[in-house]
Amino acid sequence: MHSRSRSPFTLNSAARTASARTASARTAPASTSPARRPTRLIAGAALGLSAMLVLAGCSSSASSETPSSDSPVALTLQTSWIPLVQFGGSYVADSEGYYAKNGVDVDILPGGPDVDSMAAVVSGQADIGMGNADTVARANEQGADLVIVAAGFQKNPLAILSSPDKPIATPADMEGMKIGVPSGDEAAQDALLEVNDVDASKVTSVPVGFDVAPLVSGEVDGLWVFYSEQPIAYEESTGKEGVTFLTADFGLDVYAQVYAVTKESLEDPAKKAAIEGFLKGEIEGWQSYVADPTEAVDLTVNDYAKDGGLTVEEQTKQAERQMDLLVTDETDEHGLFWMSDEGIEKNVDTLTTLGITDVDASLFDNSLLEDIYGGKSSLQ
């Protein structure tokens, strides 16, 4: 198991800024209170994807060295955000030796607002990149040749949060309301209204940052949020449990926290076997998380984000809410990370609605998961 030293950054809460998400950018910062919004310092700003595509031709894979037969294969996983319990299953897989047991030595790289995980894969700086189905599809539009081999979040975390005093429980309830829309989520709002036949002229969009303050103050009636974060911040700020609905439950079907690799890597038998070994270890880590997220929370707070100012209490709340995204009827039947034919079809439809025209079912490849599970729904 590799050394778990981390790139330095400053974080005093679980606040987020924009990063790639369901509708071309992912929402954000749920600090435990609106005042706790520190500056973060992430080491290693990523180059833009276009530049990465130029460099890719002269870059080697992150694990290009051929190991001896008894050595684990070195792989690099580029996460999509700073260390949080959002990646808790990966931390468990690393700490418990699940990767090593499956023949791989995985270096987990933290992401951040200046890190493009898809560009890292294209350039060879990482072997596996985490993101959302739309970020992978958009990377391919720019010339990448990536494929999604697993979907961690079966439901996308994009959600609408509102006050219990003025609840917005469905897209239809957005009519006549002022909705806070962070930069990057405009396309998601347009798509949500379109697929639910909501008259967009009756919804007032208000540009906001990534804080619950506009909702707390009443400046807006609803707010685009990250399901497992800002609702916690809202409750801690107001003492009230907000009303939240997942946009995934209303037609925005986009897999999140997906695992993307280059198609070329799957054409190399040795590399493909290593990626399958990674997925086996990853699944074991997330199975442990689903059974009991306590270890994942502890590893997040005290190891992987030990200088991040996170608390066990807030990360435990996030871990519990995250279960709604990880575990579905599909995963109960087929196993974690599974991508069903129906789910893939819905994703393609939503990606098309979001304006990504050159996309089809070939973006998703379930073959590794089929080999791993062998018709079962668990590795235990």
Question: What does the pLDDT look like over 69-80, one tens digit per residue?
Answer: 579 999 999 999
Q: What pLDDT does 146 receive?
A: 98
pLDDT of residue 62: 52
Dihedral, CA atoms, 239, 11, 112, 46, nearest 10 degrees? 160
The Cα 370–Cα 310 span in angstroms is 37
Q: Please, are residues 109 and 126 in contact by the beta-carbon 8 Å criterion? A: yes
Stretch (H or E) spanning 244 = strand 243-246
Residue 19 CB-half CA count within 13 A: 26
Where does the pLDDT of residue 24 fall: very low under 50, low under 70, confident under 90, or very high at 90 and above? very low
Residue 4 has pLDDT above 80, yes or no: no
> Residue 169: is its pLDDT beyond 60?
yes
Give dist(CA 332, CA 211) in Å, integer: 34
Cα separation, 160 vs 26, whole angstroms: 13
The pairing of strands 243-246 and 158-162 is antiparallel
- Helix-then-strand count for the chain, H and E: 15, 10
In this model, does residue 5 exceed pLDDT 80? no
| DSSP H helical ranges for the chain | 49-56, 88-95, 98-101, 117-123, 133-141, 186-195, 213-217, 230-238, 263-267, 269-291, 294-299, 312-326, 329-334, 341-353, 367-373
User: What is the predicted pLDDT for the residue at 49?
Assistant: 59
Amino acid making up residue 299? L
The predicted model gives 284-305 an average pLDDT of: 98
Contacts of 128 (CB under 8 A, 6+ apart): 75, 76, 77, 78, 121, 259, 260, 261, 275, 278
Predicted TM-score (pTM) of the model is 0.83
pLDDT value at residue 69? 52
Instruction: Pull the structure tokens for residue 333.
Output: 């039947």
* Helix/strand/coil percent split, the chain, to 5: 40, 15, 45
Cβ within 8 Å of residue 81, ≥6 positions away: 16, 19, 26, 87, 110, 111, 112
Does the pLDDT of residue 10 top 80, yes or no?
A: no
Query: Does the pLDDT at position 196 exceed 70?
Result: yes
Question: Comparing 49-156+254-373 with 158-250, is the CATH topology the same?
Answer: yes
pLDDT reading at 367 higher than 60: yes
Q: Mean pLDDT across the chain, nearest whole number?
A: 85
The residues pairing with 109 across neighbouring beta strands, listed in sequence order, are: 78
| Measured distance CA(39)–CA(22) in Å, rounded | 24
Q: Calculate the dihedral angle through the C-alpha atoms of 314, 258, 347, 341, rounding to the nearest 10 degrees.
A: -120
- Flag whether pLDDT at 260 surpasses 60: yes
Per-residue confidence (pLDDT) for residue 37, from 0 to 100: 24
* Average pLDDT for 2-31: 31
**Looking at domain 158-250, what is its CATH homologous superfamily?**
Periplasmic binding protein-like II (3.40.190.10)
Q: Which of 14-18, 38-42, 67-71 has the lowest mean pLDDT?
A: 38-42
Q: Give residue-wise pLDDT tens across range 116-155.
A: 999 999 999 999 999 999 999 999 999 999 999 999 999 9
Query: Which range has the worst mean pLDDT, 55-59, 125-129, 305-309?
Result: 55-59
Structure confidence at residue 115 (pLDDT):
94
pLDDT-derived band at 84, boundaries 50, 70, 90? very high
CA atoms of 70 and 35, how far apart (whole Å): 52
Looking at residue 380, its pLDDT comes to 75
- Where does 49-156+254-373 sit in CATH, by number? 3.40.190.10
| Strands ordered across the beta sheet of 243-246 | 204-208, 178-182, 222-226, 158-162, 243-246
- Give the type of residue at 105: D
Angle between helices 269-291 and 312-326 (to 10 degrees): 120
The domain locations on the chain are 49-156+254-373, 158-250
CA separation for the pair 158, 256 (Å, rounded): 10
Q: Would you say residue 378 has pLDDT above 60?
A: yes
Q: Rounded distance, CA 308 to CA 305, Å?
A: 5
